[in-house]
Amino acid sequence: MSAGSVKKVDVATVAEQLDREISQGEIELPMLPAVAAKVLSSSVDERADALSLADLIRQDQTLATHVLRVVNSPGFRGTIEIVSLQQAITRLGMERIREIALSASVKKTLFKKGAYQHVAQAAWKTALAASLWSKEVARACRKNVEIGYLCGLLHNIGVPVVLNHLDRIAPLLSTEELLQLIDHESSRTGEMLARRWKLPEAVAITIVTINQLKLAGEHVDAVAVAACGVAFTKWMFEQELDVEHVSQIPAVQHLNLYPEDVADILEKQEMVVATIESMNG
């Protein structure tokens, strides 16, 4: 379809085409790079160790270089420059290095340049912030921190999939029209991608039910953790975070987080902002 013909197509027509092509499997679902998939598996494997993680990341030189650049950024670096992955893991821990590697792989795989890059960038920043807040929430209520991070990071992976497809079939939509289509289709495409990538079931359920906790079943706590992460992100970007308002979030109440728990989490805001700046490069 040419750019000239797109101007004559209204959003309803584009929505019908998008729905049809998703239903027929004609939307591109990119493969997760092999190294990233192994790093992801290691995040839920209690047998994984620092040496095997370093060896995994070394298999992708671009990824290894990115990880070292991030760990030497102002938000992470100590007084001595980190020159090896083993040193980075010793300094920051396996959990943090996996987070850096996974976030870099997801961003490179899904969030590509295109006509809707401004919307994609906003979605990526939300995903990254939500992952960091979700981790802090999980830690505060003694839930699985690795799963909390994953659910926060990947809760909106359907967004770039839809954007990348619209970039090909309708590259001249307004931001308002884009958001309408994303709101309608991103959870469906996100779940499809989660299944393709063989992500933990909690992640797939989070993608579909993050705004409907009652439908989350046995994974309701993981979904609630991610929902808190997304809500904290929204408040942080749009207005000041405060204990009173955050405590009223349904997911916060579901997790039985008391005001003092919320206050402790919100004290991490400076760290979250610094980490976003370091990992968003």
pLDDT tens-digit map of 252-270: 999 999 999 999 999 999 9
Q: Is residue 82 part of a domain?
A: yes
Q: Is the pTM of this model over 0.85?
A: yes
Q: Is residue 52 part of a domain?
A: yes
pLDDT tens-digit map of 101-148: 999 999 999 988 889 999 999 999 999 999 999 999 999 999 999 999
Q: Is residue 10 part of a domain?
A: no
Domain range for residue 227? 115-281
Among the three residues 88, 110, 132, which one is the final residue of a domain in this structure?
110
Instruction: State whether 99 and 146 are in the same domain.
Output: no
pLDDT tens-digit map of 221-235: 999 999 999 999 998
Instruction: State whether 99 and 150 are in the same domain.
Output: no
Instruction: State whether 66 and 134 are in the same domain.
Output: no
Q: Is residue 207 part of a domain?
A: yes
The secondary structure of the chain as a DSSP string is --HHHHTT--HHHHHHHHHHHHHTT-S--PPPPHHHHHHHHHTT-TT--HHHHHHHHHTSHHHHHHHHHHHTSTTT--SS---SHHHHHHHH-HHHHHHHHHHHHHHHHH---STTHHHHHHHHHHHHHHHHHHHHHHHHTT--HHHHHHHHHHTTTHHHHHHHHHHHH-TT--HHHHHHHHHHHHHHHHHHHHHHTT--HHHHHHHHHTT-GGG-GGGHHHHHHHHHHHHHHHHHHHS---HHHHTTSHHHHHTT--HHHHHHHHTTHHHHHHHHHHHT-
Among the three residues 110, 126, 148, which one is the final residue of a domain in this structure?
110
